[in-house]
């Protein structure tokens, strides 16, 4: 891929990841984060980019997957986000 396309994709990834982290910081444990469909429509970002950001948040234990397409803020997120 041309370098400018890679940078553009990375920028969108970090933008959605930062937005989700800000949402998580303000949310109570157990709060549902917006669905991938909602995020796709709101930010005009591809589903694969959104999925990548959510997967990183799962690995970092900021969110947990409850059901297909349903992700909740974990109970110990405040300790990680300080």
DSSP result, 6-36: HHHHHHHHHHHHHHHHHHHHHSPTTPBPPPH
Per-residue pLDDT of 49-82, as tens digits, reads: 999 999 999 999 999 998 888 899 987 655 554 4
pLDDT of residue 82: 42
Q: Which of 80, 69, 64 is nearest to 31 (CA)?
A: 64
Asked if residue 18 has pLDDT above 50, the reply is yes
Rounded distance, CA 61 to CA 46, Å?
23
Q: What is the percent of the chain where pLDDT is above 70? A: 80
**For range 35-52, the mean pLDDT:** 92
């Amino acid at each position: 891929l041309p370098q400018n396309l890679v940078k553009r994709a990375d920028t969108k990834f970090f933008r959605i990841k930062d937005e989700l982290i800000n949402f998580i910081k303000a949310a109570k444990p157990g709060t549902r984060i917006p669905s991938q469909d909602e995020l796709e429509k709101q930010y005009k970002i591809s589903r694969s980019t959104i999925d990548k950001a959510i997967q990183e948040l799962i690995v970092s234990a900021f969110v947990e997957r409850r059901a297909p397409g349903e992700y909740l803020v974990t109970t110990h997120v405040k300790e990680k986000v300080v």
